Amino acid sequence: MGKIKSLEELMKIKESTLKELKMRDTDKRGKIIVAMGTCGIAAGAKETLKAIVDILGEKGIDDIAVVQSGCFGLCDVEPTIEVRIGESEPIIYGHVTPSQAKRIVEQHILEGKVVSDLVVKRGEL
């Protein structure tokens, strides 16, 4: 890191670090829960989780929390993720590979449209 000489340079550091700090905020619009039971991890949930975090970061979405959980009990369709936005009913998606995760973020999180071909369950478990 070179020496800082202007307010603009300082602002840049502030903005990039704020993103990280914001991850600690509690008031989020919604959350994506990634099932990280043994079966989920075996089916690739760790890669899915990373893909979700990366794509949220790329798109600059900071009001969606990504939370890990244990097995949803849907072991045959792992990796599974649950998307909860505000008061609307939660959606569980199955077989979420990193590329499918990207689709879910783009369609469901950004446009508010459920990705119907991946849905395994609607509503509360």
Partner 1 sequence: MPAVENTIVICAGGACISAGEISVKESLENTLREYALDEVVRVVETGCMGACDLGPIMVIYPEGVFYQKLDSNNVKKVVEEHLLKGRIVKELLYTGPTGEVKEKPQEELPFFKKQVKIATRNLGVVDPLSIEEYIARDGYFALTKVIKEMNPEDVISELKKSGLRGRGGAGFPTGLKWEFARKATGDIKYVICNADEGDPGAFMDRAILEGDPHSVVEAMTIAAYTVGASKGFIYVRAEYPLAIERFSHALKKAREYGFLGENILGSEFSFDIEIRIGAGAFVCGEETALINSIEGKRGIPRVKPPYPAQKGLWGKPTLINNVETYANIPPIILHGGDWFAQFGVEGSRGTKVFALAGKVNNTGLVEVPMGISLRELIYEIGGGVPGGKKLKAVQTGGPSGGCIPEKHIDTPITYDTLKELGTIIGSGGMIVMDEDDCMVDVAKFFLEFTVEESCGQCTPCRDGTKRMLEILERITEGEGTEEDLETLKELSEHIMKTSLCGLGQTAPQPVMSTMRYFWDEYEAHVKEKRCPAKKCKALTRIVIDKEKCVGCTACARVCPVNAITGSVRNPHEIDPEICTRCGSCLEVCRFGAISKVSP
Binding site for partner 1 (CB under 8 A): 1-7, 10, 13-21, 23-26, 28, 31, 33, 36-37, 41, 46, 49-50, 53-54, 57-58, 65-70
CB atoms within 10 A of CB 100: 19
| 112: its two tokens | 């508010």
Nearest to partner 1 of 58, 113 (CB atom): 58
Residue pair 56/87 in contact by the 8 Å Cβ criterion: no
Rounded least distance, CB 25 to partner 1, Å: 6
H-helix or E-strand containing 11?
helix 7-22
C-beta closer to partner 1: residue 10 or 113: 10
Q: How far is the CB of 62 from partner 1 (least distance, A)?
A: 10
Give the nearer residue to partner 1 in terms of CB position, either 50 or 103: 50
Q: What is the largest CA-CA distance in the chain?
A: 57
Taking the CA atoms of 113, 34, 27 and 84 in sequence, report the sign of the dihedral they define.
positive
**Closest approach of partner 1 to the CB of residue 12, in Å:** 9
* Closer to partner 1 by Cβ: residue 14 or 113: 14
Question: Which amino acid belongs to residue 19?
Answer: K
Residue among 93, 89, 94 at smallest CA distance from 123: 89
Least gap, CB of 116 to partner 1 (angstroms): 26
